[in-house]
Amino acid sequence: MKLDDIEISRAIIENFYKKLIDSLELDVALVGAGPSNLITGVLLGEKKIKTAVFESKLAPGGGVWGGGMMFNEVVVQDAALHLFDKVGVGYEKKKKGYYTADSVELASTLISKCVKSGVKIFNLIKVVDVMFREENGEKRVNGLVLQWSPIESIGLHVDPLTVRARFIVDGTGHPAEVCSVLSRKMGVKLDSRTGGVIGEMSMWADRGEELTVENASEVFPGLFVTGMAGNAVKGTPRMGPIFGGMLLSGEKIAKIISQKLGK
């Protein structure tokens, strides 16, 4: 068969826009394709909850790829091993309660499982704002304002587009970007000590892992946090290259949202 360059372009354009148009109305929009949001996506997708992930970088996976200081291994504890087993990521026992896993396998497997569960992942798309509405007397976040990441990085003044979602999950890690935008632009009070994004504390793996799961919650009607975004909003320690808490926080958010949606 002789390949036609235009047909190649046509196939890409047609399928991408079909995928994007189908994602304009969502049950759940996950912002950031780090490990916590990816496992949330896997679990929501398995329940046929209409979900999409919006990632600003070229490669989904968040901070997993680099392991600890570019040694591409991560640590996981007993409590999260069931999620490694679920997605099929191997691990090796070290000392009691400590296991290591290949960070490249973890990142790539989570991405693949998320897509195969039916969740759409859009990379190179930056969330620059939120849709903020009043519904039945309640002010809530009900959508996202999107722009191509390269447009933002070079400072071109190009108007964005929007998607509507019943629930938003900020999984953008250390910056807690969605929560920061909401707090700054709308002046609302988030569920934190100060009502804003406090910023993470210094590293303390034991407390950081515990609080990563505890902090995963709804911080404003329609807006959830997971992973390091939760620690940033609540002002609790970071935990370094151990990823059990990240996955457990994503599992927790998936359960909460599933219950809210009656799934």
Give residue-wise pLDDT tens across range 38-57.
999 999 999 999 999 999 99
User: pLDDT tens across 138-160, in order?
Assistant: 999 999 999 999 999 999 999 99
Question: What is the structure's pLDDT at 136?
Answer: 84
Of 99, 246, 120, 112, give the one whose Cα is nearest residue 172.
246
Token pair recorded at residue 116: 């195969």
Token pair recorded at residue 134: 């009043």
Give the domain range for residue 247. Answer: 26-260
Is 20 inside a domain boundary? no
Distance, in Å, from the CA atom of 158 to the CA atom of 191, rounded to the nearest integer, reads 33
CA angle 24, 216, 87 (to 5 degrees): 75
Is 180 inside a domain boundary? yes
Of 51, 49, 75, give the one whose Cα is nearest residue 64.
75
Q: Tens-digit pLDDT profile for the chain (263 aa)?
A: 999 999 999 999 999 999 999 999 999 999 999 999 999 999 999 999 999 999 999 999 999 999 999 999 999 999 999 999 999 999 999 999 999 999 999 999 999 999 999 999 999 999 999 999 988 889 999 999 999 999 999 999 999 999 999 999 999 999 999 999 999 999 899 999 999 999 999 999 999 999 999 999 999 999 999 999 999 999 999 999 999 999 999 999 999 999 999 98
Is 16 inside a domain boundary? no
Token pair recorded at residue 46: 């398995």
CA angle 42, 67, 242 (to 5 degrees): 70
Distances (CA, A) of 40 to 90, 92, 129, 214, 258: 20, 24, 22, 16, 10
Question: What is the structure's pLDDT at 184?
Answer: 95
Task: Assign residue 123 the CATH number of its domain.
Answer: 3.50.50.60
Is 15 inside a domain boundary? no
Is 2 inside a domain boundary? no
Q: Structurally, how many domains does the chain consist of?
A: 1
Question: What is the structure's pLDDT at 135?
Answer: 81
